[in-house]
Each structure stands twice: as structure tokens, then as C-alpha cells.
Structure 1
Amino acid sequence: MTLDDALPSTLRPAGQPTGWPRASLLPCAGDPPITVTPPSDAHRPTLDDLAKALDEVQPYLEAARTALGRGYVNYEGGDVGGHSTERSLFRHVANYLAAADLAQTAGLHDSVLDVGSGTGALTAWVAGRLGAELHLVDRDPGVRRVALSAFPHAHVHATLDEVPRATVGLVTAMEVIEHISPDEQHTFVTALVSRVEPGGLLVVSTPDESGYTGGSSGYAPHIGCLDAPGLQTVLQNAAPTAQVTVWRLEGDPFHLGRVRRLVQPVANRLWTAVGPLLGPVAHRIAGPAASFADLARTHAGPELAPEVRALPASEGSGTGLVGVVHVGAGQ
């Protein structure tokens, strides 16, 4: 079996049963040899219209929800087409908006490929914004059925092998790499880079969990967490001749408060221990739990502000990282 056959869904790490995380956690901290290169403002995503983007994505999310109906697709990964919280939605939309901004700046309008796409709602929005052909890759057949029903114009693939090399202007892998073990990340990113056409972009997002107590959120499917230098290293090693930039996303959706810094790792580890005991009812709890989290957040303080900015990765304290690989026209 090739690595492409084992490409993970954004909804669970490869090799894990649907809905259940690994029982053990791997360290997220490392000592990578490459430092983060100061980025150029010419390649900074603006993220100016996040509030507008949040409105624009709603029909796409509704299409995914309608296609899903009362069916069950692994909710463990927080697919925004499912039960996600407001914070999760804001974060995901900001990541995809960053990719759309970068593609528009680079004049990329031919094709978009999202690997580990889930239901594909946000990628469909990006493709619509760019006027681009849409390709989705996800290993989960249930997710693929939902994506194809919701977005019949999309090319939906089970593996990356089905996508020819060097043919896509914008390739994305959003919140996927942390689900891949460190020893497989290089091969995974190399496969992504190989699909980017000359002059195109690879955009990879991942949460920076280094600010949590113990250096991890405790969310068991995150077996390959990366900080900013670690993301820079993985991307640069996979594309040694390309320009690599890592941005840190700063704003309410990416703010890690003192309470969450302490409580979330404990809560996630508790869910890891208790979840398997709940059996098939576990996924029924996920949706109401997300709704309760939003309700608690609403009454705990002011609403989340849909304002996010991209900073050099060495600045700020936001928990979102966006890595960009610029594949040169001669590569």
C-alpha cells in the first residue's frame, strides 16, 4: 500500500477506527534544525473580509448538511460541515480565506485541490471565489459520498494517486498534518508538493499547540503536532528549492486564554478515556456538546470578533499556523 492509499481524512488519523482516537499521545514539542525565515509582505494573506467570508460560506455548509441528512460521518475531527463550534468555524474559514487570498494575489484561477477535504464545503467556496475547478481527496468513503452529493461539479478522489502530478494551481491540506505521525510527514508533504503546477502554491494549516500546559491540547488524534519552526522544517525539506513562508494567525478565534490553556488538555484526555465506553452513542453527544460550548462561550464574555491578521510566525501568540510553499515556475 502506498502512502497515498493511507492519506488521512481530516476527520481521523490514518489507521484509526472511525470516531476513536489513539489511546496514547506523542510529544508535540521538538527541536527542529531550521529557523523560520522572515516573510515578505508581498505574500501575506490579507484576511480583510473574514466577516464577509463567514456569510459567503453558509450556503456551502448548508449544502453539506443537507447532503449528510441524518447520516453519520465521523465527527471526531470537527468537520465544519457537522457540529463544529463557532470558534472552530471561524478558524477553518480564516485558514481557507488565507489560501484564497494567496491564490488571488498569485493569479491562480485554474484549479484547487484539497487533501483531507472532509465534506469539501470550504474548498468549494474557495473554488467558487477563484472560478477554479474543484478537486477533493478524502480517504473516508462516507465523506466522499456527502461531498459528491453536495457539490456534484467537484472531482472527488479516494487517493492522491488519482490526481496527476504538477497539474494544480492551489493545493491545500488544512488541519491535516497534525493527524500524521512525524515519520510520515515528509512523504506526505512531498506528495502534496508534487501535485502543484509550476508557479503554484501549497498551503498547509495546523494548530500550534505549544502554548497548552504540557505542550499539547491532549486531543489524541493529533499525533504529529508542529510549532512554527517545525512546520517550516517539514515544508522546506519536502520542497528544498521552493520559497517557504510560515504565518501565524492572530485574533479572537486563535486566542488561547489561561482557562482553556489548562482545562482543554484535561477535558480531551478525559474524552479519550471515556469515549470508547460510550460506544455508538458517542457521536450523538458530540453535536450537543459543541452547541453547549458555544452557549457557554456566549454567556462567558463578548462574542468572538471575526477579525484575524497574519503575522510573521515569530511574532504574536495566535494558535493558528499557515505554511505556504511557492513552487517556482522553473521547478
Structure 2
Amino acid sequence: LKKKKRKKKKRRMNETTGQSCNTIVEFEQNQRQAYTNKSVQIVFLLNGCAGMLIALILIILIRKRKGHRADLTLLEGCSAGTFLMSCSRVLVSAQRLKQLNEKVKMITSVQCLALRLDFPLAIVGEYMLHLDMLFLSIERLFYFVGVEKHRRCFSVRNCRYLTLFSMLVAMANMIICYGVVLSKSNYCVPSYCPRTTFMTFTHFIIHLTITILLVTVDIVFYMIALLVHHFRNKVQKLNSLRRMQDAKERTVFHGMVFAWFVIFTMKMIPWISYFVSYFNAEAVDLLVAAQILDNLFMPISSLLYLLIHPDLGRHCKAALARFAFFHSTKNTSVVYIG
């Protein structure tokens, strides 16, 4: 009797795993075009390489700078997050290009975990980027509220701790994703391992909501900082030295707001598209367009921070001035304060 019961259990397990495999095949068969399109994957690969290069240049320039600033320390964390996401994009695109001529097989979710080495890089990088962007908006608010409070709360050491905290939060989320995979180790998935392998629908909605909230809260802090700065200038009379320093910080602030707006636009549209394509498996073109826009923000965000920030923009202008086309005949003097 015990042997018969065991056989029945095995049959039930095989039936359930077979059903789950069939449902995944039906759901992913239409979306497979988004993963097996050669031109799209080449675009993703080049885009990831560009993101890695620009993020690496940004990190090197911040490291080379002699003085230390809180915003640059947090920007270094943002750049590290972008670099990890770009590495992830390069790895997954290379894997998908390799699988173009291979037949799609059904493998277990644990095997997918071993194949998709890019996934932890993507999760850690994404959370690091969004959390450090949030800390950056709070840092700007504290500066305009009071310089002493800003120095005390946002020292370089504290900013490094905040970057480390964002990394730990990202790793905790990654552990949850790994737990989801291990909880359904017998679940069959296609060999190109879509992201739905690592996230349940509930986890996907929570992840989407948290990332949207993190980016949305940024603008709230930026708007409060703008109002505080406006009213403080009316009340306080600043001397010429403090006014010049304040003008520089205002330039940094405006640059951060502009970069946030571009990133928010380039992230919000893909997120909505992902949500729609999750329910509509036939929306392949929408999914491909969303993925392209979602991946373009990686090099563009780093490039914006590189060009907009006055301390980093000077290095770019100095490098471009070596070429005859960008050479300027005007003599300019730069006064650095801080």
C-alpha cells in the first residue's frame, strides 16, 4: 500500500509539473520574440557597454577629485548601481545571442538560477540606483535647510554608510528572489529564463510599486528644497562669498532635478508597459519598445550627471578642449569655493 501511495504521489507531481510547464509555454511563446530578436539583443548589448563605460568614467572622476562632497559620494553609489545594471544587461544579451540558434528546452527553475548570473547584478544595481537617488534628494534638502545640519548628517562617511545600506537592502531583495526560485525547484521554465522565473506576481507588483514610490518621493524632497531655498533667500542676507557658494549649490540642485525628470520619464513609461504586457502576452512590440527605453536610461542617466554637475563637467570640458573642434578662444576664470 505504501508503494502504491508513493507511485500515486509521483504521478501527481509529474502531472502538476507538466501542467505548469504547459502554462508557461503558452504564456511565454508569444513573448519569446522579445528575447530571440537578434537586432534587439545587439542594441541591448551595445547599450549595456555604453552604460558601463560612462558609469566607470563617472566613478573614476569622482575618485580622482581631491575634495570630498556628500552629493558626489552619493552619485558614486548611483554610478555603481548603473554599472552593475549595465553589466547585467551585457551578460543577458550575450546569453540570448548565444541561444538564438538553439532550440528552446524546458529546464527547472534551479537550472535557470545557475544560468542567469546577471540577475543578482540587475537587482542589486537597480535598488542601489533608486535608493541613492532618494538619499541625494534628501541631501539637497538638508543643505538648503541648514549648512551645519547638512555637514553633521551628510558627512562623506555617513554618505558611504547610506550607499552600503542601499546595497544591503538590494541584497535582501535578491535573497527573496532566490527563495522564490528554490520554493518551486521542480517548476519548468523555458531555457532563455524570463524574469518571471525569479518573481511571483505579488513580488513583481511589490517590486514595481517600491521602485515607482522611490522615484516619486524624490521630486517631493526636491520641491520642498526649492521652497526652503526660495524663502531662506528672502529672509537671510548672504555675503558675496556665501552667495557664490550658494549659486554653485543651486546649479547642482537644478542639474539633479533635470536628471531626475529624464530618468523618471524613461523609467515610468516602461514600467507601465511591463504591467500591460504581463496581462497581455500578445503585446510583443510594446514589450520590446519598453525594454529598449528602459535600457537607454543607463548610459543617459550617467551622462547627464557627468555633464550637469559643475565639478564633473569641468573635466569633460577640459578633455573636449584638447580637440580643435571644441577649442575655445575665450579666456575664462573659474572660482572654486568649498
TM range (shorter): under 0.3
TM-score (norm 2): 0.25
Structure of greater Rg: 2
TM-score (norm 1): 0.26
The structure carrying a bigger helix percent of its residues is 2
The structure carrying a bigger strand percent of its residues is 1
